């Protein structure tokens, strides 16, 4: 699968290109214990001064563009990227009980999607895999 995502190592170069508001939004996502909605980010940003929803959405879009954050479609929430992706695909295991999110990559999933895309002459621009279920801590002992 062709990739436009750049490996930024520890994201250092990507963070350097951010403005102050984008850096603050990134720091809020980095410190968050779990996914945050844009309005939760907005509330945290307002603690330090006036800011508008469009400013937050633009900042989140820039973080996603630079590979520093991801939008979880099923939760309508954002998380900080925990590791650089060699491919455009990002995958997340989302616990439906405690809300924990575990970011992972799997070359087999990426290969299968690339294979399917090739067979069907489809050119993906962005792939986000969201697996919902129960994390180890939330599974019942009887299971």
Predicted pLDDT at 122: 95
> For residues 125 and 118, what is the distance between their CA atoms, to the nearest angstrom?
14
From first to last of its 143 residues, what are the pLDDT tens digits of the chain?
333 333 334 455 677 889 999 999 999 999 999 999 999 999 999 987 888 999 999 999 999 999 899 999 999 999 999 876 655 678 999 999 999 999 988 888 889 999 999 999 999 888 889 999 999 999 977 64
How distant, in Å, are the alpha carbons of 9, 11, 43, 70, 111 from that of 117?
28, 29, 40, 22, 10
- The full 3-state SS of 70-131, as one line of letters, equals EEECCCCEEEECCCCCCCCCEEEEEECCCCCEEEECCHHHHHHHHHHHHHCCCCCCCCEEEE
Predicted pLDDT at 88: 65
> For residues 139 and 33, what is the distance between their CA atoms, to the nearest angstrom?
20
**The residue to which tokens 């520093």 are assigned:** 68
Is 90-135 assigned to CATH 3.30.1490.190? yes
Residues of the chain with CATH 3.30.1490.190: 90-135
Strand partners of residue 96: none
- Cβ atoms 67, 14 nearer than 8 A: yes
- Cβ atoms 79, 72 nearer than 8 A: yes
Residues of the chain with CATH 1.10.10.10: 12-80
Read off the pLDDT of residues 76-114 as tens digits, 9 standing for 90 and up.
999 999 876 655 678 999 999 999 999 988 888 889 999
Question: Which DSSP helix (H) or strand (E) runs through 62?
Answer: helix 53-65
Strand pairing class (77-80; 90-95): unpaired
CATH architecture of the domain with range 12-80: Orthogonal Bundle (1.10)
């Amino acid at each position: 699968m062709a990739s436009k995502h750049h490996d930024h190592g520890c994201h250092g170069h990507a963070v350097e290109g951010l403005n102050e508001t984008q850096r603050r939004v990134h720091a809020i996502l980095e410190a968050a214990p779990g996914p945050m909605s844009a309005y939760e980010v907005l509330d945290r940003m307002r603690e330090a001064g006036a800011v508008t929803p469009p400013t937050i959405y633009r900042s989140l879009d820039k973080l996603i563009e630079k590979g520093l954050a991801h939008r979880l479609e099923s939760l309508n929430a954002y998380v900080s990227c925990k590791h650089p992706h060699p491919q455009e695909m990002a995958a997340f295991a989302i616990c439906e009980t405690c809300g924990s999110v575990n970011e992972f990559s799997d070359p087999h999933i990426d290969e299968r999607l690339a294979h399917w895309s090739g067979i069907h002459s489809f050119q993906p621009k962005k792939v986000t895999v969201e697996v919902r279920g129960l994390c180890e801590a939330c599974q019942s002992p009887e299971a």
